[in-house]
Amino acid sequence: MLTLFTATASFSAHAQAAHDVTAPVAALDQALDSIQQSGAGSFSARTQTLGPVVDQVYDLETVLRASVGAARYMQLSADDKQKLLATFRDYTVARYLSSFKKGSGAKFTLASDVRNSPTGGNKIVTTHIGSAENMPGTEIDYILHQEGGSWKIVDVLLDGHISQAAAQRSDFGSTLAAGGVDGLIAVLKKKVQTFSED
């Protein structure tokens, strides 16, 4: 009986641990489903819906550091880091709003399994994005790490290997080299404006 109890407790603990890791991705999927509904409102209203969820489920500073490059990021002043992070947050939210427009009809299917990432103690959670006619659709892998006792998204992989942070580092690097932090902030703000007009 003790053995059965121990096995049950172990299974419950494992299931709870897996739920803790997948919960941020589940919350993001739910928010993305909400902002694409026909009654989701204006771009501003949809921003108010999605923004707090992005704040909750992402470790945006870690994503930004990887997107800028750790060495270059460390050279920025505290004020520049703060201004860039605020703009990067708006850019991240606006990019999602542009990708999941009202009426787009994307369906989200979250995989229940959690995989270990080759990098440190990070975890990988997969969700599939497709339409009602084309399921399961595109596979998206979210890389999560533990921050302050909670799991947070730190990168997104398309097709299992295309890192969003690495792609952004390629884009951001040339802008930073040419125009510095103010130049990158200006470019990101312009992208947010473009997304809002889609």
CB burial of 182-193 (b: ≥16 within 10 Å; e: otherwise) equals eebbebbeebbe
Check whether 122 has a pLDDT greater than 80.
Answer: yes
H or E element: which one contains 190?
A: helix 164-197
Asked if residue 173 lies in contact with residue 69, where contact means CB atoms within 8 angstroms, the answer is: yes
pLDDT bucket at 147, cuts 50 / 70 / 90:
confident
Residue 98 pLDDT: 95
> pLDDT per residue over 48-94, tens digit each?
999 999 999 999 999 999 999 999 999 999 999 999 999 999 999 99
pLDDT at residue 112, rounded to an integer: 84
Is the pLDDT assigned to residue 110 strictly greater than 60?
Answer: yes
User: Which pLDDT score, from 0 to 100, does residue 11 have?
Assistant: 44
- Mean of the per-residue pLDDT values of the chain: 89
pLDDT at 9: 47
Contact 40, 33 (CB under 8 A): no
Whether the pTM exceeds 0.75: the reply is yes
**Mean pLDDT on 137-148:** 91
The pLDDT of residue 15 is 58
Instruction: With beta carbons less than 8 A apart as the criterion, state whether 135 and 43 touch.
Output: no
Domains and CATH numbers, the chain: 2-197 (3.10.450.710)
pLDDT tens digits for range 9-32: 454 555 567 889 999 999 999 999
Structural tokens at position 109: 């299917």
The answer to whether the bond into 136 is cis (omega within 30° of 0) is yes
CA distances from 194 to 38, 55, 81, 104 (A): 21, 22, 24, 18
> How far apart are the C-alpha atoms of 33 and 104, rounded to whole Å?
9
CA atoms of 124 and 111, how far apart (whole Å): 10
Higher pLDDT, 111 or 51: 51
